């Protein structure tokens, strides 16, 4: 199984460049592994560069967790962090640092 980088995940989520989306989908089609570091970087890019709010990023993480061709490192921990975030119900517009904490960055930081 191949591992993906941040760019592949961002393309799968944002679908902002049709050519790159096609390449990303082809790359993961035979199965791909996503490390915690790459997932964390993708979350950072989605929030910092694409300015997605935390709830939209949570939806993106959920999509990646359930993607038929992706295997996330310690998916149970990612799912638990996502559930913890959703139970905390932060309002839209919550700050980036708070969102990172709510999205469970501890699952890959320690």
pLDDT digits (tens, 9 = 90+) for 47-103: 899 999 888 988 999 999 999 999 999 999 889 888 887 777 655 555 445 545 545
Count of the separate structural domains present in the chain = 1
Expressed as residue numbers, the domain containing 99 is 2-109
Does residue 11 carry a pLDDT above 50?
yes
H helix count then E strand count, the chain: 7, 3
- pTM tops 0.85, yes or no: no
CATH number, domain of 89, equals 3.40.50
State residue 81's pLDDT score.
85
DSSP code at position 4: P
| For residues 11-25, average pLDDT | 97
CB 1 within 8 A of CB 71: yes
Tens of pLDDT, residues 25-37: 999 999 999 999 9
């Amino acid at each position: 199984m191949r591992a993906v980088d941040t760019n592949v995940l961002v393309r799968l989520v944002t679908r902002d460049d049709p050519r790159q989306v096609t390449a990303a989908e082809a790359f993961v089609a035979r199965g791909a592994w996503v490390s915690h570091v790459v997932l964390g970087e993708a979350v950072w890019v989605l929030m910092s560069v694409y300015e997605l709010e935390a709830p939209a990023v949570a939806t993106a993480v959920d999509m990646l967790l359930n993607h038929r061709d992706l295997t996330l490192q310690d998916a149970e921990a990612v799912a638990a962090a996502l559930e913890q975030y959703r139970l905390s119900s932060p309002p839209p517009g919550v700050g980036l640092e708070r969102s990172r904490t709510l999205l469970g960055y501890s699952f890959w930081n320690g």
